[in-house]
Structure 1
Amino acid sequence: MQESFRSRSFLAVVLIAASLPACGGSDDSPSVATSSTPATESPSATPPQASAQVACSPNGSFTYSGSASQVAASNGTLAVVVVPSLPVAYQKNRNFTAPAAPASSQVQQASGAFTTLASSAAATDCLGLEHGAVSDIQGVGSDVAIGRWNAAMDTDGNTYNLAHGVHYAVGTPLALTATSGTLACTQVIADTVASTDGSASGTLGTASAALDLGTRTLNNLSMSINLANTNYTLTNTQAPLNGTSATGQLSIQSVVVGHDATQPLVALGYSATLPKAQTIGGVVVLSCK
């Protein structure tokens, strides 16, 4: 079964909050696909943080699935994208898009998982994992790492099940130097597609786009998603780099990361309302050449 839509062809739809008690999942919540790396449990080992971030760095207990290298900072900063796949009432505007956030305000564990995320040094701009799982941990060298909090509780007090998620991508900020030309971008890593109502999870099969160096935009983005054995194609004609774009049913958040301006990576967060009014989200990293 194939369903598709273009982001400019639909009217905005009110996101539907699930009938989940206090954003928590039941014992029969569906399982999610994670990395083949066995999950391990470890107490938090947080490095010293700025005083503004202490409330977002609890001494919790976490489990990890997957692994990633430590992400390299640039001039003391990291690029951060955070997309919550939670009922609207519990998201609390935690969609972070920060091309240059303080590296000292983030916490990355030895596994490569990030358990504290922040868009600035302000206490109001951080979110921490109180306890729970970090799944889908993946990375591209020291350039970027992604993951998803699930079956967890965060420092906003939200609890969520296996099919929920707070998706993140954290990378080395990269300034583009060329002012003309186009690069072809293809997917290299992506996390599990999570649903806002916590009823199902899915996969991002392919994602592609063109990076216009003149306009500094990501053009003709196309993503193929399978959710509950149904295929969907999400498209966006043009979205700014290092910013956000919300058109129709699809919202895009992006930051440019990596170490080579001639072959940049784009860390992309997305959320979309599908034709049957189910809202989903995730993160993907594109390699542009």
Structure 2
Amino acid sequence: MPPRPMIGRFADQYSGRVAEYIQIPTPAGKFDALAAGPEDGRPVLLLHGFPEAAVQWSEQLSVLGGAECFAVAPDQRGYSPGVRPQQVADYRMEELLGDVLAIAEHFGWQRFDLVGHDWGAAVAWTMAAAHPDRIRTLTAVSVPHLDPFGDAVRNDEDQHQRSAYTQAFQSAGAEKALLADNAKKLRQIYYPGVPQHHIDDYVQRLTEPGALTAALNWYRATRLGGGQIGPITVPTLYVWSTEDVAIGSTAAMATADHVTGPYRFEMLEDISHWIPEETPETFTRLLLQHLVSHPE
């Protein structure tokens, strides 16, 4: 569907629309989600990362809804109680892509704009590589293209050190360590950058029985396979921040070599890993500009 004409006009003046809670039925179960904007608007799907939830996109949902987009942010597999399988294998990338396609199928979206942060960005990159015919635009936040990222983890000492935490997350004792002492270590992950009320919300969700295990299973499932995803042909915006403790510059800068479609790279100075929440106005403006630049 062509974008509404008002998208991009006076974007900073949009009052936005309050996101509404919805449920999305799929063959895997019901996803909890937040949605804003008219259902016949330009479809935008936003995928959160670890250890967060759909609420991380609150500011973007409001602005996108006010811009006459239909913006949907699900609590992803394991984060939605209705889609919380117990087996690690159920969190392989193939299953995560299947969820994206099932959500799009529910709404009847033939093509849609895809936005992802952290693990959501990993899913978004892979989705755009595997199903470019379904993706109008890609916006990836923090996590770079997975091919140079994998190379950097293996061969770049800086990135190797930054990614060392993943082994702890894959260990059998990760849940106990993160939740000990009133979830002290879990709470520390969000600093700096995430608003306190969001931290409280995330911690409450992840202390529910089975929730943190499901979230950590995303990391554990990476041991079950995965290879290179190949070049990205769709219009792509990649946003990276210089104070990201998890993602160094090597793969961020190399991402341009893996996008053959229109590409825009934005580097945000003095911002942490939590871009959508720490600097929502800047990021949302970049996102809107990207959508406006690629209406078809």
TM-score (norm: length of structure 2): 0.24
Higher helix share: 2
